[in-house]
Structure 1
Amino acid sequence: MPPVSMPAPTFARPRAFRQPRLLIVGCGDVGQRVVRELHGRLRVRAL
């Protein structure tokens, strides 16, 4: 009898880990424009 392949378990991840993240270091003029463009699509953090 051939071995049976078990499906990989799916774990429910918290919302914070489902959304892609971006860290911006040094929020000058360019950093602020990037935040405005990406807000909502990415989880943005700035230093």
Structure 2
Amino acid sequence: MRTAKRKERNNNKKKTRKRTKNQYRREKRNQTKLSRANQKKESRTDIRKH
């Protein structure tokens, strides 16, 4: 009885995929790309303001 309940509880948990090192690295790289692009945009707008 106990094991059945435990199994059910485990099945109901949200399954999160474990990130591999490469995936993590790729995500980090994408973040830096985005932030760089945003910085460029901001600097362009600053020039227009003056």
Q: Shared topology, TM-score over 0.5?
A: no
Q: Report the structure, 1 or 2, having the larger strand content.
A: 1
- Larger gyration radius, structure 1 or structure 2: 2
The TM tier, using the shorter chain, reads: under 0.3
TM-score of the pair, normalised by structure 1:
0.26
**Larger relative helix fraction:** 2
Q: TM-score, length-normalised on structure 2?
A: 0.25
